[in-house]
Structure 1
Amino acid sequence: MSLSATRRHLLGTGLALGIAPAVQAQSYPTRPIRLVVPFAPGGGVDAVARIVADPLGALLGQPVVVENRAGAGGAIGVDAVAKSPPDGYALSMVSPGNMTAGPVVRPTPYDPLALGYVSMVTRSPLLLVARNTLPATDLVSFVALLKREPDAIRFASGGVGTGTHLAGELMNLRLGVRMVHVPYRGTGPALTDLVAGNVDIFFSDASAWPMVQQGQLRLLAVSSASSWATSPQTPSVGTAVQGFDISNWYGIIAAAGTPEPIRARLAAEIAKVLARPEVAEMLGRIGFDAAPMPPAEFAAFVRTELETWRAVVQAASISAVD
């Protein structure tokens, strides 16, 4: 082959490689998409996934099927997607528990920073909710009770290393106390036991809000430094616990190597779904705020969050053995 022919061949190959992902994105999707929820049904991650799945599928022209795969603080479901073919047909709804908080407590079979980022979906504070029979009716009286009887307070979480776990550990650290940690396999089971009075408090995602409205749980505070639009009169934990400021978020990821055009297409359609008034209303009813974020920005956000939680875990000497 002549030098000029070789150059033409290499140029053609390069163009083909560059065009292939774009062509793939144009035809995507041609079959149903799995959206893995790595927690048990009934929690916030599950609720948000189900709100988003149907309208997203309608825009993409293929069903988006929600699949629950709980275990290991959400790591099992995410790992299943991480090991799937990088073609955009397996996605996972992720949260701090399996992306930023959990991975600094115990190793995960996947690298959180090496996944295919698609979009953030929602953002909201965690809700400090208590069983109705707890002898504390507000944040101030709860902190006083906690300081008097720290060993008697049982705090639930969605699993070891989840954001709901580290929120409780951060409170322990900031107040110099030691509540008893009771881990569950997701938010849904934790809320069920809290309503039943089997545990005392829980830093829940916003899926606890309907239970508060129905009088099943008592809302003591929100985890963010700023007020929560859904319940602006509720105080921030930071007003009684210095240095406490946490936000909860959910997003969607794919396997590493998923072509950027496919991820960009998904992110654009997710943004359209979240812009719909009826979707925003459904999210708002369960206490969530729509927060679309494109792939690169979402990846940078997770990197920053990972470093923040690593510092908390090291300061509190938290390990996977809880």
Structure 2
Amino acid sequence: MLLLLGALMPAAHATSWPAKPLNLLVGFSPGGGADTLARLVARQLSMELGQPVTVRNVAGGGGIVMATTLSQAEPDGYTIGLAANSAFDGMPAITPLRYQTDDFDYLTTVSQLQNALIASGKAPFASWDEMLAYGREHGLSYGSPSPITRDVLNLIAEREGIRIRFIPMRGGMDVINSLIGGHIDIAWSAGVHQAFLRDGKIRVLASLNEERLRASPGKPAIQELGYPMGYSSYFVLAAPAGLPAEIKQRLSAALVKASQSPRVAQLAEQRMGFPNVVMTPDEITRFVQRTAEGYRRQAAPDPTAN
């Protein structure tokens, strides 16, 4: 009888879920693109599930601090997190962390990031070539919320003979404010910069996606500039690994519906310039695993090296 009751308890727990409010951890500080999207998704998710969804900002390391916190939560469907996929696939592959890619259940995506190398509208350069010329003479300071983006600038520094100093940022708005305030020369943006293009406060130097950006079609993609790279990336919603199957199905379905809702799609597409790309759990899991494997191969020592 005790064994039977024990076997039935997880099923009963799944049937009663959600019985209390959910927590959505956001890997960036308030005010940026990820935070804005997360709060709207939280409202839509609350409507889908009939429970409040509390947003908690856990900034740092381009999502690493949030992912560390998320990995330690109970896999009961009450704690989920949002960050760029690099926090889940790239960073665990190239640096020792307290979590690994497989420590999460991947549920869906909200949008495709619009990665760009940007500068202040008052910067003494307005194009890629002008930036290189300025950097060779003066050096450059580079800000980004994600340590993984150092790889791009390290390659540029080596190839172009430029000294580039990395400055960690706590989120998209920290990047924007630091550029406008003249504290850094250039920065990586996942898309929050698009709100500042029209008034000229920010300018795009190059797209860091595999293609040109919708909002800046006149600016070249990094591959056009002779660099064999490009970053297709997404805002990912994930949970601690080990969710009961029924809870995972219901939670992911509710998140997909919330992320595809007209209000979220309109915010992403029209107001923020983020393509509203919403993946199924299988699609985003395959993408994260494939990307992580690529980073692991890249980080592996060359067996032919002396």
Q: Which runs of 5+ in 1 are unaligned?
A: 1-8, 316-322
CA distance in 2, matches of 1:311, 1:166: 15
Please tell me whether residue 129 in structure 1 is matched to residue 114 in structure 2.
Answer: no
- Match in the other structure for 2:141: 154
- Match in the other structure for 1:115: 104
Shift, 1:20, TM fit: 5.8
- Match in the other structure for 1:297: 283
Give the secondary-structure state (helix, strand or coil) at the position aligned to 2:147: coil
Alignment of 1:251-290 (within 5 A): 251-284=236-269, 285-290=271-276
Give the secondary-structure state (helix, strand or coil) at the position aligned to 1:42: coil
CA distance in 2, matches of 1:174, 1:66: 42
Alignment of 1:85-124 (within 5 A): 85-124=74-113
CA distance in 1, matches of 2:158, 2:242: 39
- Match in the other structure for 1:196: 181
- Asked whether the equivalents of residues 102 and 241 of structure 2 are also in contact (C-alpha less than 8 Å), the reply is no
Spell out, residue by residue over 1:196-248, the C-alpha distance to the aligned partner (whole angstroms, 9 max, x if none): 11101111011111012232111122112223234333321221132131123
2:32 pairs with one of 22, 33, 43: 43
Shift, 1:134, TM fit: 2.2
- Asked whether the equivalents of residues 124 and 287 of structure 1 are also in contact (C-alpha less than 8 Å), the reply is no
Spell out, residue by residue over 1:35-92, the C-alpha distance to the aligned partner (whole angstroms, 9 max, x if none): 0012222233222211211011111111111101223443222222211111010111
- In our comparison, the structure showing a higher alpha carbon Rg is 1
Q: TM-score, normalised by structure 1?
A: 0.83
1:223 pairs with one of 162, 185, 208: 208
- Match in the other structure for 1:239: 224
Change (3 A) 1:122 1:24: farther
Please tell me whether residue 248 in structure 1 is matched to residue 233 in structure 2.
Answer: yes
Change (3 A) 1:84 1:199: same
Shift, 1:26, TM fit: 3.7
- Match in the other structure for 2:304: none
Please tell me whether residue 140 in structure 1 is matched to residue 140 in structure 2.
Answer: no
Change (3 A) 1:72 1:228: closer
1:185 pairs with one of 164, 170, 187: 170
- Asked whether the equivalents of residues 99 and 112 of structure 1 are also in contact (C-alpha less than 8 Å), the reply is yes
- Asked whether the equivalents of residues 125 and 246 of structure 1 are also in contact (C-alpha less than 8 Å), the reply is no
Give the secondary-structure state (helix, strand or coil) at the position aligned to 1:29: coil
CA distance in 2, matches of 1:20, 1:87: 13
Shift, 1:23, TM fit: 4.7
Give the secondary-structure state (helix, strand or coil) at the position aligned to 1:291: coil
Spell out, residue by residue over 1:266-318, the C-alpha distance to the aligned partner (whole angstroms, 9 max, x if none): 22122222322332111121121222222232222111112333455569xxx
- Match in the other structure for 1:319: none
CA distance in 1, matches of 2:295, 2:160: 18
Task: Give the root-mean-square deviation of aligned CA atoms.
Answer: 2.7
1:307 pairs with one of 279, 290, 293: 293
CA distance in 1, matches of 2:173, 2:299: 25
Shift, 1:21, TM fit: 5.2
Q: In the alignment, residue 147 of structure 2 is paired with which amino acid?
A: V
Q: Which runs of 5+ in 2 are unaligned?
A: 302-306
Q: In the alignment, residue 152 of structure 1 is paired with which amino acid?
A: G
CA distance in 2, matches of 1:205, 1:199: 17
Change (3 A) 1:265 1:174: farther
Identity %: 30
- Asked whether the equivalents of residues 264 and 294 of structure 1 are also in contact (C-alpha less than 8 Å), the reply is no
Aligned residues between the structures: 300
